[in-house]
Amino acid sequence: MISAVFTILVSLTRKHWTATILGTVTGLILVTTPGAPLAVTLALIPNGIVFDLTLRAGDHIFDNLSRKRFVVAGALGNLAMAVFGLAMLQAFGFFHGFGVSTLIVIWVTALVGDTLVGALGSLFGTAVVRRLGERVRSPLIR
């Protein structure tokens, strides 16, 4: 549920590129962990980039970001993570020997599932930020 962490952190810090920095640092730390899959850990980087770019898209000022905007950012970030991770796994031959129909099922399931999890994670993140209340003065608290 990295999108929940991205949402909470971006909401509380109000700094641009927070999700990208967090995704990059987390991905690089996890790369050094024995047994951590390289494709998954490095996929955190495009997740953070797409999350931040979605928040910056359009003419929205940072203080007026809505819950909907965060949910879309979480969904698109996780979609990017799924595409990047699956593409790396396929490039490294992880799916060698799988039939085309099996690959289609894997890709569709991962793309749809990860996108939904990203949206739900950001929705959860906005609920956490709202629950924190006025103490943090987040743009989500109105």
Report the domain count for the chain.
1
Establish if 114 belongs to a structural domain.
Answer: yes
Q: Of 117, 86, 136, nearest to 2 (Cα)?
A: 117
Q: Which residue range(s) make up the domain with 132?
A: 2-136
In tens, the pLDDT along 11-30 reads 888 888 999 999 999 988 98
In tens, the pLDDT along 77-124 reads 999 999 999 999 899 888 889 999 999 999 999 999 999 999 999 999
Q: What is the DSSP string of 82-125?
A: HHHHHHHHHHTTTTTT--HHHHHHHHHHHHHHHHHHHHHHHHHH
Establish if 142 belongs to a structural domain.
Answer: no
In tens, the pLDDT along 37-66 reads 888 889 999 999 999 999 988 766 666 678
pTM of the model: 0.86
